[in-house]
Structure 1
Amino acid sequence: MNKSMVLGVVLGAAAATAVGTIAGYRAYVAEDAPQFAEVLSINAVNESYTVPREECVQRQVTKVAPKKDEHQIAGTAVGAVVGGLIGNQVGGGSGKKIATLAGAAAGGYAGKKVQEDMQNKDTYTEVETHCATVNDKKQRVIGYDVEYKIADQVAVVRMDKKPASDQLPVKDGKLDLDKLQPGSTQ
């Protein structure tokens, strides 16, 4: 045998041994590697938000009726006439004229005040609607923080959906995110 042939046989045997050793090690590691991670806890992640809405209440309101005679002219006139007639009954001569004028003035003032008081007591009740915007506070779940354990290592992953079991799939010592529901991790 020549040297080339011996060298080829030796190298071939070494390569075959190396490939066999690597394949055996990978099979050994694959058998002992964890297939699942243990779920330790699941915590919902909430988001707060507000929803505006309009809230209305009905209220009874008492209002003063609109005045037809804002300056109380009718009351003043009637009071002046009545006061003047009463004043005219008092005294004689020029005192009678002064009493008539004083009676008319006092009657006019009294008539104005009586009409004003009557107008202020003339009320009506109306139902009014009062509205305001109220913000209701609400919460919604936006995901789940899942604490898990692979071998002796503990970690947390955020998932869109709550895991269906207490185990998560593992590949090559890490969570197999492809086997979890699509779009379920962040």
Structure 2
Amino acid sequence: MNTNLLIGGIFGAVAVTAAGSYAGYNSYVENKTPSFAEVISSKPVTETYYTNREECYDEVVQHQAEVKDQNKVTGTIIGAVIGGVIGKQVGGGNGKKLATVAGAAAGGYAGNKVQGNMQQNDVYTTTERRCNTVKDPQQRVTGYSVTYSLNGETGTVVMDHEPGATIPVQDDGQLVLNKPETQQF
């Protein structure tokens, strides 16, 4: 047997095997689903909720002092006595009596008014604690709106975690959207 023929046959078999392997590999690569989708952007999806807190402050409050002499008798009597004494100093005879009575009446009226003004202005102040419930808005991230590219097409999904630069793709072409569980030892 001719050795050239044998060597040529071996080279031919190797070439056919290599060409077939190359064609089979290209066919496999063309039909294979990528194992990752490229993340283009990731934006947090948030919701607003409210927390209550109590806001307190001190307020100065004026109070009317308790009136012990509602009818202002003390002021009326003192005013009448003083007015009568002053009226007695004026005039003579029956005029003196009339001036004393008029002075007592005017003094009583004035004493009543003076005591009323004093009672009205008799106030005291206290500091009282006032509190209100205030609602503070808070934000929490509920997921991420992720725009991705897979096989030349762009899509958007909402994920429960931030994916990073890529999203895993299953053999059937579906994205793996859930966060992988971490092993705990």
Task: Using structure 1 for the length normalisation, give the TM-score.
Answer: 0.75
- Indicate conservation of the 8 Å contact 2:58/2:128, yes or no: yes
1:123 alignment partner in structure 2: 123
Task: Using structure 2 for the length normalisation, give the TM-score.
Answer: 0.75
Task: Give unpaired runs (5+ residues) of structure 1.
Answer: 1-23
Equivalences for residues 104-115 of structure 1 within 5 A:
104-115=104-115
- Most deviating of 142-151 and 80-89: 80-89
Report SS of the residue matched to 2:180.
Answer: coil
Equivalences for residues 122-161 of structure 1 within 5 A:
122-161=122-161
Q: For residues 176 and 80 of structure 2, what CA distance do their matches in structure 1 show?
A: 104
- Indicate conservation of the 8 Å contact 1:53/1:134, yes or no: yes
1:167 alignment partner in structure 2: 166
Gap change, CA 1:130 and 1:176, over 3 Å in 2: closer
Q: For residues 91 and 58 of structure 1, what CA distance do their matches in structure 2 show?
A: 61
Shift of 1:31: 5.7
- Indicate conservation of the 8 Å contact 2:79/2:107, yes or no: yes
- Most deviating of 169-178 and 55-64: 169-178
Q: For residues 30 and 71 of structure 2, what CA distance do their matches in structure 1 show?
A: 105
Task: Give unpaired runs (5+ residues) of structure 2.
Answer: 1-23
Q: For residues 145 and 69 of structure 1, what CA distance do their matches in structure 2 show?
A: 77
2:20 alignment partner in structure 1: none
1:56 alignment partner in structure 2: 56
- Indicate conservation of the 8 Å contact 1:147/1:155, yes or no: yes
Gap change, CA 1:176 and 1:110, over 3 Å in 2: closer
Shift of 1:78: 0.9
2:65 alignment partner in structure 1: 65
- Indicate conservation of the 8 Å contact 1:150/1:173, yes or no: no
Report SS of the residue matched to 1:66.
Answer: coil
Q: For residues 113 and 78 of structure 2, what CA distance do their matches in structure 1 show?
A: 12
Report SS of the residue matched to 2:28.
Answer: helix
Shift of 1:136: 0.6
Q: For residues 70 and 57 of structure 2, what CA distance do their matches in structure 1 show?
A: 34
- Indicate conservation of the 8 Å contact 1:54/1:134, yes or no: yes
Gap change, CA 1:174 and 1:145, over 3 Å in 2: same
Equivalences for residues 28-43 of structure 1 within 5 A:
28=28, 32-43=32-43
- Indicate conservation of the 8 Å contact 2:159/2:177, yes or no: no
Q: For residues 64 and 174 of structure 2, what CA distance do their matches in structure 1 show?
A: 80
User: Counterpart of 2:166 in structure 1: which amino acid?
Assistant: Q
Q: For residues 168 and 121 of structure 2, what CA distance do their matches in structure 1 show?
A: 84
User: Counterpart of 1:43 in structure 2: which amino acid?
Assistant: K
User: Counterpart of 1:131 in structure 2: which amino acid?
Assistant: C
